[in-house]
Amino acid sequence: MIIGILALQGDYSLHAKILDNYNVNNILIKKPSELSHIDGLIIPGGESTVILKLLDKFNFNEGLRDFSNKKHIYGTCAGAIVMSHCTDDNLKTLNFINIKSFRNFWGRQINSFTDNIKLTFVNKPFNAHFIRAPKLLCQGSELEVLAIYKNESVLIRNEKHLVSSFHPEMTNDFTIHEYFISMIKNEI
Ligand code: GLN
């Protein structure tokens, strides 16, 4: 199994580092043709406006839509915005998951924070990093909320895809990456 990490902008290298630490094969994805080599894709946090521009510039859109129909994608923070339907009128997001996103809901860079959140699928707290994080509003009954923090859904999945408003790659805790890998292996 190989995990791809979209490497156009954002903190893709930290995802590679945590996957390396846990001996998970991973490659950085810079061209649409590389999507055919992978079983699942991570779209990292960063700046959703820039990631969307670069996806367009490098002609990812059709290949990525195709990929999203067959395989698994995990979007973190900006990546979650990219995968959702964003309330910013001028932002053409990809709508891979039935979620409405509101950018910078949790405050500006200066308001970044970490806190322990409770996940539905394990019995230990996860230290989540929120950096200009979006609000993620579920729009469909097919969605499963895997973590709620201060009354907001912060980790959500549908059958194939996973999104979080926080950055799991900024810790050494592999729990959420491991969950995504189990989704790919069809174990959960
Ligand atoms: N607020 C950023 C955006 O709208 C996301 C920030 C992040 O990924 N940490 O793209």
Q: Is 178 a catalytic residue?
A: no
Distance CA 116, CA 129 (A): 9
For residue 90, what pLDDT is reported? Answer: 87
Q: Which pLDDT belongs to residue 188?
A: 80
103 lines ligand 1 (CB under 6 A): yes
pLDDT in the model for residue 185: 96
- With residue 64 as reference, give the H or E element that holds it: helix 61-70
Q: Which of 15, 72, 169, 177 is catalytic?
A: 169
Task: Look at residues 76, 97, 91, 56 and name the one whose alpha carbon lies nearest to residue 10.
Answer: 76
**Ligand 1 in reach of 40 Cβ (< 6 A):** no
pLDDT tens for the chain, 188 residues long, are 999 999 999 999 999 999 999 999 999 999 999 999 999 999 999 999 999 999 999 999 999 999 999 999 999 999 999 999 999 988 999 999 999 999 999 999 999 999 999 999 999 999 999 999 999 999 999 999 999 999 999 999 999 999 999 999 999 999 999 999 999 998 88
| pTM, rounded to two decimals | 0.97
Rounded Cα distance between 125 and 90, Å, is: 37
Q: What is the pLDDT of residue 148?
A: 98
* pLDDT value at residue 18: 98
